[in-house]
Structure 1
Amino acid sequence: MADAAAYRRVAESVRAKIEAGDYADNSERRLPSVESIAKDHGVSKQTAHNAIQALATSGLLHVVRRQGAFVRERPRDRAVVRDRTVYRDEIGYFFDKNAQNWRAVSQPRHQIDPAPDHVADLLGVARGENVLIRDRDMGPADSDQALQVAISYISLQVVAEIPVVGGSETGPGGIYDRIEEHYGAPLEWHETVSARLANMDEQDRLAIAPTAAVLVVTREARVLRQDGSYLVAEVNETSMPADLFAVSYTVQRDDSAAWPRDVGASAT
């Protein structure tokens, strides 16, 4: 119990120094050696090692064999705040205003495979049915590190009606412009935001720890057809490290919360 308390004390001390920016004065953001941390905190090398491993497991540090521990870029330095607004620039629609210049940091992947069950349900296709999957790693234009994994799912019926959405070159505005042009109606979007632990694929692509959480935005792109019915033309699921992103929006009043209040109606 004493050893456990000691390594937690050391881990919290090192975490506090990281948050204070104490290790940001060198370009590598390298921590002192385990021996130095042990001496500074009056603990054994094993206790200091356990503290460093705990911080690495939490995603705060990156440990390189025979080189030491390095502080990952601090979340508050590059956090992206999402809101509930869709924007447009010369390239097309986008949803993260302060990630407007982000681009695919690796070659996009296209494949035909079944969608996850919850995505199939949203698309209105049978579970296990093949769909078109467009898969991209997104990040800042000046970086090769992905900060978002964005996967689009499109039913093969929509691909048959609009073949260009299945190609590598979808033209100005991308698939959303092609869908609106085909149906002659504006898209509407509905998003659900959730959180979970990163899966193995996300851990690899986002370079995050196995215990790291991801924020997942599941977005349905709906369009009104000429017969008056709505079609979910695409489902996009974007996952991102939860410590780098936040969701911010204005809270709206329902009619039941109108102001000024009807004092007489609420009196007992």
Structure 2
Amino acid sequence: MPLWHDVADALRHAITTGGYPPGSKIPTEDELQEQYGCSRTTIRRAVAQLTTEGLLQPVRKGGTTVRQQPVRQRLTLDTGAHRDELGYFFSAAVQPWRALQTPTVTEGPCPPDLVSVLGVEAGAQAVIRDRVMGDPATGQVMQLATSYLPADLAAGTILAEADTGPGGIYDRMEHDLGWGALEWAGAISARAATPEETRLLGLAPGVPVLCVTRTTTATEGPAAGRVVEVNVTRRDASRFEVGYPIERR
């Protein structure tokens, strides 16, 4: 194995066994070179690997410190659709969160990984609705939510407007467009964060995003049986986890 793997293993062991506690600085590059008898390049690759793993955090003009691991907030798996005065929501844990910025609406190609989910051809256009959600009292960003709607159904309708009125897009679909009682399904996954997600969520280097993907299906009218929206919500995977009860059968 490359030498930098050995150095990374040794530093990882020192961190996990308390040799370098959270918030403390690890030795300088020169000190690590002398300690492990290797080149500066080897040290930098080892430190970069541990940074990607979320164990280390570079500090501007302050060396490299052991990252403080936040206590994860548990979001209980919720399989119900709820409603309040603002419309539908899908988890009691996030119901208090609100849009912290003006939502943006654009039109562009459907992402390749969602083409089959949305049931459109590769390169097909979608109406894309982006929201930055969080705690209205503190202004802290908690999640990013993006909705993708097939352009052949949504473009030129109220669904492509920035303000869709009371109840949002789901009330417009059910009551104004006549798409019947909507049906939803969800899935949970994780992936590497994009640079924009890292910036907006304030992610530490190497921290992935926890993704909840929800599909919305129409039951009546010209869109009956079609997936009319795919909503992808991203959260800081170091701050949130999904919990669920386990029953003895």
Taking structure 1 as the reference length, what is the TM-score of the superposition? 0.70
Trace 1:174-213 onto structure 2 (pairs within 5 A). Answer: 174-182=168-176, 183=178, 185-209=180-204, 211-213=206-208
Map of 1:247 onto structure 2: 242
Alpha-carbon distance, 1:136 to partner: 1.8
Offset at residue 112 of structure 1 (A) = 0.8
Q: What letter is aligned with 1:96?
A: S
- 1:196–1:32: structure 2 CA closer, same or farther, 3 Å change rule? closer
Task: Name the CA shift for 1:108/1:91 in 2 (closer, same or farther; >3 Å).
Answer: same
Give runs of ≥4 in structure 1 deviating > 6 Å: 46-52
RCO higher in 1 or 2 (8 Å CA, sep ≥ 6)? 2
Checking the alignment, whether the CA contact within 8 Å between 1:82 and 1:248 is kept in structure 2 is: yes
SS of 1:76's equivalent in the other structure is coil
What does residue 163 of structure 2 align with?
169
* Cα shift at 1:221: 0.6
- Within a 5 Å distance, the mapping from 1:97-112 to structure 2 comes to 97-112=92-107
Q: Does 1:222 align with 2:223?
A: no
CA contact 1:59–1:211 (8 Å) conserved in 2 = yes
Please name the residue that 1:131 is paired with.
Answer: 126
Q: Deviation at 1:132?
A: 0.7
The corresponding residue for 2:9 is 8
Distance 1:98 1:175, change over 3 A: same
Counterpart Cα distance in 1 of 2:223 and 2:100: 39
Any idea what the Cα deviations from partners look like across 1:8-65, whole Å, max 9, x if unmatched? 34434434559xxx75xxxxxx434747xx89xxx57x89988765543222443221
* Structure ID, larger Rg: 1
Residue 100 of structure 1, CA deviation = 1.8
| Number of residue-to-residue matches in the alignment | 241
Unaligned runs of 5+ in 2: none
The question of 1:234 aligning with 2:233 is answered no
Residue 115 (structure 1) aligned with residue 116 (structure 2): no
- Give the 5 Å matches for 1:246-265: 246-249=241-244
| C-alpha distance in structure 2 between counterparts of 1:225 and 1:219, whole Å | 19
2:188 counterpart letter in structure 1: V
**Quick one: which amino acid aligns to residue 31 of structure 1?**
S
Where does residue 262 of structure 1 map in the other structure? none
1:13-162 to structure 2, matched below 5 A, reads 13-15=14-16, 17=18, 30-32=23-25, 34=27, 54-69=49-64, 74-159=69-154
SS of equivalent to 2:158: helix
Question: Considering only aligned residues, what root-mean-square deviation do their CA atoms show, in Å?
Answer: 3.8
Query: What's the offset of the Cα at 1:143?
Result: 4.2
Note closer, same or farther for the CA distance 1:72–1:102 as it changes in structure 2 (3 Å cut). Answer: farther
